[in-house]
């Protein structure tokens, strides 16, 4: 009778360069896995540092801190008697396999991700020697704990007393000739995949289908993935850690959640794998396959006591239900906003609410964030509770928690209708009603005086009075007058964002993050909908009207899209689609074809001429995260420890023979 095996995988909300926090979350996931009876724990890709360190992966001190964190994990009492699979950079994008204060294997990634949002070839070297293993000389800080001078590094598999484990990392799963095929033919029964896979609409099913296909011929697959906004600023990693047996799902974590540590544990039957692999043709292929070196792990993943325990049974299959695209828009950007808000240590959001579809979508997404936060508070998520109290500046002795999403929205989201003579009553009223429905702190103002001041200044200096097209002006004049309104809103928005916390008498509060709703004349800190087209937004708002019980959304969905930057006359009302010469449905097609006419509008930071190696042209020459841990506590702590060691050494005089003697 084959043994039952208890195994765990996880989703962790890691943060770039937050070595202290990342290590703490890793240890907590190991603690939870052990408490559930697991003998194997798998974590996300590059979990020690966070996936999105980007050009920081080229810095030497990062690797020093990585090994310091690995040493902490290896020596931690809660990290014993369990086989641990940890993601860490060591110039290679690697997996570190640890058991009872010893490193068994360093498994470098063989096929790096280099498409779309991924640039791993910029920072790492792929392991180009299949089935080859050599010695890695350990850093002293780790060797002093493990008693090892060298450890195996390369393309190998791990053998326990009762099974064999093969290792894949993220992109390797998506390759046509993925390593799991060859490891399976070499007798590997359990496959681990540690990933840093980001959220895209409709993407999760593709990922799950790939894993299911890999194990339909027999195999157990543990998939781990990072969760959250880890500092990249653009990506949200959507968790969904899972355990699969022969193509079936027996465990899966949430795709969207505010949990920092989410561990999935399942009991699996190795006999299910072995009985599926009995075909003669498969055995013939296996006999011809080149062998992998096996690294012995002195552990059994099963327990003898479980064989006769009627309470220990294989985990039942799970029927997966995928989120609709509308639900994904409601949840993904909402979780992304929460991570950015709490980690930036700002006081909330400021949103220019125009009464149009785009800004309404951003407002509803922010309201969705408030719904998630309130739900997490009710569930007793202490990390979320602490963050929300800090953000809204609650006294330390207070036990305040938001009762409703609207109550929290009123403290976090600040909306503002910035009207001009070109604005309509309809958009003003829609903005007011939506703000009331979601509970935001709403301001309704007219800013004609600001627009007129700029226009009058130009006329005073040049003696030229620009006119709108409907008043006989040229297209150039018309565009200039529209831009004055749009860009004045930019400046006014930032002033309100900086000073509203003072107006609301929040002691010690920071400023607000400005939310953008489009890529034309706006500027902001965050844009939750910048890569979502109008059709998906309309579908999302239609869904939210029912599921969030916001009837006013109906008027946004059916309103004619307009910027309201030109005067309204009896014969003319400005329309986005008329001015573009195409519908938004047609624009969506062009967007996918990547036309170049409006490329400059997508460049958030003004392009700079590259003249020196110290250029900080963002996301081009210099690729770095946007959101960092405040003050780098782990790094500064290590610097202080080093300084103290130097001071102690300075107090110890050295004789002419070079021997140190303590001062009297």
Largest CA distance in the chain: 99
DSSP readout, 521-534? S---SB-TTTT--H
d(CA 27, CA 306): 26
> Exposure of 601 by Cβ count < 10 A (0-12 exposed, 13-18 middle, 19+ buried)?
exposed
Active-site residue among 109, 411, 534, 545? 109
The secondary structure element, H or E, covering residue 460 is: helix 448-462
- State CA 273 to chain mean position distance: 34
| Cβ neighbours of residue 313 closer than 8 Å, sequence gap 6 or more | 4, 267
45 annotated active-site:
yes
- How many other C-beta atoms are found inside a 10 Å radius of the C-beta of residue 116? 8
Active-site residue among 29, 240, 354, 488? 354
d(CA 269, CA 266): 10
354 annotated active-site:
yes
Q: Which residues on adjacent β-strands are paired with residue 106? A: 96, 153
3-state DSSP call for residue 506? coil
d(CA 42, CA 263): 10
Active-site residue among 170, 214, 335, 377? 170
d(CA 349, CA 334): 12
352, 418 contact by CB (below 8 A): yes
d(CA 90, CA 418): 52
d(CA 414, CA 351): 6
3-state secondary structure 533-560: CHHHHHHHHHHHHHHCCCCCHHHHHHCC
Active-site residue among 45, 168, 172, 564? 45
Give phi and psi for 437, each to the nearest 5.
-65, -40
Q: Using only C-alpha atoms, what is the Rg of the chain? A: 29
Q: Which residues are catalytic?
A: 45, 109, 170, 354
């Amino acid at each position: 009778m084959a043994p039952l095996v208890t195994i765990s995988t996880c989703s962790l909300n890691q943060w770039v360069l937050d070595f202290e926090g990342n290590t703490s979350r890793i240890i907590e996931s190991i603690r939870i896995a052990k408490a559930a009876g697991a003998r194997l724990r798998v974590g996300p890709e590059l979990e020690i540092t966070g996936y999105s360190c980007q050009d920081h992966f080229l810095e030497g001190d990062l690797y020093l801190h990585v090994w310091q964190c690995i040493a902490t994990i290896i020596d931690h009492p809660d990290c014993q008697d369990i086989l641990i699979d940890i993601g860490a950079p060591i110039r290679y994008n690697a997996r570190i396999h640890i058991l009872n204060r010893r490193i068994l294997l360093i498994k470098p990634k063989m096929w790096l991700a280099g498409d779309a949002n991924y640039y791993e070839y910029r920072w790492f070297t792929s392991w180009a020697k299949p089935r080859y293993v050599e010695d890695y000389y350990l850093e002293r800080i780790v060797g002093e704990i493990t008693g090892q001078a060298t450890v195996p590094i390369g393309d190998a598999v791990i053998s326990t007393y009762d099974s064999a484990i093969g290792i894949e990392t993220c992109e390797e799963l998506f390759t046509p000739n993925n390593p799991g095929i060859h490891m399976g033919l070499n007798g590997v029964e359990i496959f681990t995949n540690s990933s840093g896979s980001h959220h895209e609409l409709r993407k999760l099913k593709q990922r799950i289908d790939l894993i299911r296909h890999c194990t339909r011929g027999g195999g157990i697959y543990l998939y781990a993935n990072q969760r959250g906004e880890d500092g990249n600023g653009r990506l949200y990693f959507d968790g969904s850690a899972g355990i699969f047996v022969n193509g079936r799902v027996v465990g899966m974590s949430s795709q969207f959640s505010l949990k920092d540590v989410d561990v999935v544990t399942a009991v699996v039957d190795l006999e299910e794998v072995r009985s599926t692999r009995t075909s003669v043709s498969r055995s013939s292929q296996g006999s011809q396959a080149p062998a992998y070196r096996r690294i012995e792990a002195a552990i059994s993943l099963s327990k003898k006591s479980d064989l006769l325990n009627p309470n220990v049974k294989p985990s039942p299959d799970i029927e997966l239900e995928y989120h609709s695209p509308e639900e994904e828009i409601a949840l993904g950007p909402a979780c992304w906003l929460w991570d950015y808000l709490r980690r930036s240590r700002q006081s909330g959001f400021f949103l220019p609410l125009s009464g149009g579809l785009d800004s309404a979508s951003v407002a509803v997404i922010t309201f969705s964030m408030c719904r998630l936060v309130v739900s997490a508070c009710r569930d007793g998520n202490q990390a979320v509770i602490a963050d929300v109290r800090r953000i809204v500046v609650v006294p330390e002795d207070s036990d305040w928690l938001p009762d409703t999403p609207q109550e929290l929205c009123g403290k976090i989201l600040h909306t503002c209708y910035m009207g001009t003579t070109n604005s309509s009553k309809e958009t003003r009223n829609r903005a007011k009603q939506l703000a009331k429905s979601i509970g935001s702190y709403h301001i309704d103002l007219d800013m004609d005086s600001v627009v007129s001041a700029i226009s009058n200044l130009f006329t005073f200096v040049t003696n030229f009075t620009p006119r709108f097209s409907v008043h006989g002006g040229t297209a150039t004049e018309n565009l200039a007058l529209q831009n004055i309104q749009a860009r004045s809103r930019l400046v006014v928005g930032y002033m309100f964002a900086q000073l509203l916390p003072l107006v609301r008498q929040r002691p010690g509060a920071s400023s607000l993050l400005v939310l953008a709703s489009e890529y034309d004349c706006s500027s902001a800190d965050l844009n939750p909908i910048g890569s979502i087209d109008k059709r998906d937004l309309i579908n999302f708002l239609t869904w939210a009207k029912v599921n969030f019980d916001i009837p006013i959304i109906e008027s946004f969905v059916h309103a004619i899209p307009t910027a309201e930057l030109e005067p309204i006359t009896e014969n003319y009302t400005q329309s986005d689609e008329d001015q573009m010469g195409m519908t938004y449905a047609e624009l969506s097609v062009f967007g996918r074809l990547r036309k170049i006419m409006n490329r400059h509008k997508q460049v958030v930071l003004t392009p700079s001429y590259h003249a020196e190696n110290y250029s900080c042209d963002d996301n081009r020459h210099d690729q770095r995260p946007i959101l960092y841990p405040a003050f780098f506590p782990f790094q500064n702590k290590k610097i202080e420890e080093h300084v103290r060691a130097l001071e102690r050494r300075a107090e110890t005089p050295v004789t002419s023979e070079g021997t140190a003697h303590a001062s009297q």
